[in-house]
Amino acid sequence: MANERQKQRLMQEALDERLNPEAYEELQHRLQTNESEAEEFARLNRVDRTLRTAPHERAPQRLALEIMARLARDLSPQQMSHLAGLALALGLALVTLVALPLLLSLSYVLLSLLGSAGLNESIHSVVSVLAWVIAAMEAVVQRLQGLLGTYPAAPLLVVAMIPLSLYWLLRTLSRRVSDRGTA
């Protein structure tokens, strides 16, 4: 298995022109002693040359529209509305999960500042931050609703991104906690 991986790696690096002289000699020796590997490398080389000489053109705009139309046609409306509702609920749950600690901490700061001398300025700052957070949440929800209307398959992407986002958030929080523990 490791020998097969090494062979594939050598061939790929040779095609990418990244082999050092020793590895290139090793590959040449393998190709001379093993006819099936030589045929495989020749085939890969032909494919690589074909791909390098192929014209690089952008896909037509209608292609994306046709793909989205086929996806919309293949998914039943009942299935779509269920997925859309699920994606919207999961998206809102994620927004709430992220925003709730922020809102709670800002509320705590607001309550602790009620007895201080700079109350008016502090309240203004906290309210400004809260207004910004609420506006950001509204913008996210509006964009999700617009995306859902434009691209019916978007809920699938949202559902796929939620676990990744939660993993990233938990990983970041655990790193910060471990960094504080070592400092």
Q: How far is CA 63 from the centre of its chain?
A: 23
What global pTM score does this model have? 0.33
Other C-beta atoms within 10 Å of 144: how many?
Answer: 19
Q: Tens of pLDDT along 26-43?
A: 888 888 998 888 898 899
Confidence bin at 129 (pLDDT 50/70/90): confident
Other C-beta atoms within 10 Å of 90: how many?
Answer: 16
Sort 158 into a burial class: Cβ within 10 Å, 0-12 / 13-18 / 19+.
buried
Report whether pLDDT(24) > 80. yes
- Mean pLDDT calculated for residue range 85-102: 78
What is the radius of gyration, based on Cα positions, of the chain?
Answer: 28
Mean pLDDT of the chain: 77
Report whether pLDDT(162) > 80. no
Please answer whether residues 148 and 87 qualify as being in contact, where contact means their C-beta atoms are separated by less than 8 angstroms: yes
Report whether pLDDT(157) > 80. no
Within the chain, residue ranges assigned H as helices are 2-15, 21-33, 35-53, 61-74, 77-113, 119-150, 154-182
